[in-house]
Amino acid sequence: MKKSLPLVFGLLFTGNCAALPLMEYLGLVAQAHPELQSLETRSEQYAADRQYAEGAYDTEFAHKTASRVTGYYDGIYSTQEISQRLKPFNSEVFTQYRVSDGEFPVYEEQNRTLSEGEASVGLRISLLQNRTIDEDRYNILLAENDRRKWQQQIKIAQSEFYYTAILAYAEWAKASQYYRLSLQMLETTLNRRKGISTRVNTGDLARIVLTEFETQLMQREITALNAEQTLRASYEQLRYFIPRDIATSPDQYKALVDLEFAWPSALIMATNELTPSSSHPAIQSKLVEVEKAEQDLRLAENKLLPKMDLEMAVAKDFGSGPESLEEKETKVALKLSVPLRRTQAKAKKTKAEFKLRQVYRDLEALIRALNVSLAQTEINLEYSQKLTRKQRQQVALARELFAQEQKRFALGASDFFLLNTRETNAFKAQQDHLDAIFAVNKQRLALLKIQAALDHDFVQALTQGQ
């Protein structure tokens, strides 16, 4: 689909604009706009969150020294351990070195080693609670989900941004057309002033005709000023999307754009084929939320399990000392902890189950909303196209009426009031036609926005391939 979509912007506005063609404008917008840079900066923050969560599995070094400084016994011992946590089974491999000296009471004999110390290597694993998931693994999954969700949301945000940027360009183009029409109308009226003044002075027309003419001239000067105000305002909106050092001339906004709002049939077909699918960024983002809700449920279910942790180690003492410490030792320890009521864990599990149901319902609602938005936009496009055809016919009829009225007025078979009405109606018909054309293209652009098709990669490919 996207292979056809680049034609959209190349043909949305065709024509010449010495100041700023659409493709050049989009290139400037895509290069260094602060909104786009802000979005990219947020992406880096999510990557940092993932790195932070992974830090829970950094290798650790621990050291402990204990001694009796007073009393009958003078035992002192030191322990050093390097450990590395692993994700499977919440396991941890470790190697340890212990060394002691002096005398220990019988209840601390486990601290005694041979003269050169004891070296050991071992493994700790979780057999029930924390075996498949724990807080640290959950945090990694959460950080990754947030990153993946943002990767989809940034496409939506970029699409909204470029939609607004292109719409600003279209508003400027329409305002340029309005301004041009108003100047043409004013020029035509000014050219008519001398003839009407002559006919009034010769008595061919009543003095009120000249008064009416001056009133109409004033109205058209006001219309031209309003059109120029709208053009300047739309140009300032356009400048929000481009660097401030571009187009600094005070009259830059007057660089009129002669635009033909034409879309080829192949492009119209490509646009009509757009339908919400599982690849839509909003749906993908919601699916990530589903995964998170499932992980929340897994974590809650994990908390309901009893704790059963196993530790296994092989140790060997070196040096001189008690004969009982000379043999290699294999150690196994099992620790069991069973919560009796688990009230909080049950509450969290219940909440997680309902949250998962909610997210699934939200996903269904989102798919429906996308379908409805697409259908509404297609209906709006259909009737905008019908209205454009009618407005085009209206322009032709209004021009024909005005042309005939000019001939009648020149022959003296009509009055200025009717001529002015015909001319005003022709001007209004052209304005309405411009509005209708703009509405058609706005709806087509909206179809792309609904699909989040206007992301940064798409626009960059578009501007580079112009």
Report the pLDDT value the prediction gives residue 247, as an integer from 0 to 100: 52
pTM for the model stands at 0.80
260 closest CA partner among 442, 11, 5: 11
pLDDT tens track, the chain, 466 positions: 343 333 333 333 333 344 566 777 788 888 878 999 999 899 899 999 999 999 999 999 999 999 988 888 889 999 999 999 999 999 999 999 999 998 999 988 888 999 999 999 999 999 999 999 999 999 999 999 999 999 999 999 999 999 999 889 888 888 888 898 899 889 888 888 877 788 778 877 778 878 888 888 899 899 999 999 999 898 888 888 887 666 545 455 555 444 443 443 434 544 555 655 678 999 999 999 999 999 999 999 999 999 999 999 999 999 998 888 889 999 999 999 988 888 889 999 999 999 999 999 999 999 999 989 988 988 999 999 999 999 999 999 999 998 898 888 777 777 777 888 888 899 999 989 989 988 988 888 888 888 888 888 888 877 775 5
Report the pLDDT value the prediction gives residue 282, as an integer from 0 to 100: 93
Cβ-count burial 179-200 (b if 16+ within 10 Å, e if not): bbbbbebbeebeebeeebeebb
Report the pLDDT value the prediction gives residue 281, as an integer from 0 to 100: 93
Q: Which residues contact 101 (CB under 8 A, 6 or more apart)?
A: 75, 76, 77
CB 178 within 8 A of CB 230: yes
Report the pLDDT value the prediction gives residue 69, as an integer from 0 to 100: 86
Distance CA 446, CA 276 (A): 13
CB 77 within 8 A of CB 99: yes
Report the pLDDT value the prediction gives residue 77, as an integer from 0 to 100: 94
CB 439 within 8 A of CB 384: yes
Dihedral sign computed on CA atoms, order 236, 241, 245, 249: negative
Report the pLDDT value the prediction gives residue 208, as an integer from 0 to 100: 84
Report the pLDDT value the prediction gives residue 264, as an integer from 0 to 100: 36
Q: Which residue has the tokens 């056809």?
A: 4
114 closest CA partner among 327, 315, 320: 320
Cα–chain-centroid distance for residue 270? 23
| Burial status of residue 426 (CB atoms within 10 A of its CB: 0-12, 13-18, 19 or more) | buried
3-state secondary structure of 411: coil
Distance CA 123, CA 314 (A): 9
The region, left, alpha or beta by phi > 0 then psi within -120 to 50, assigned to residue 452 is left
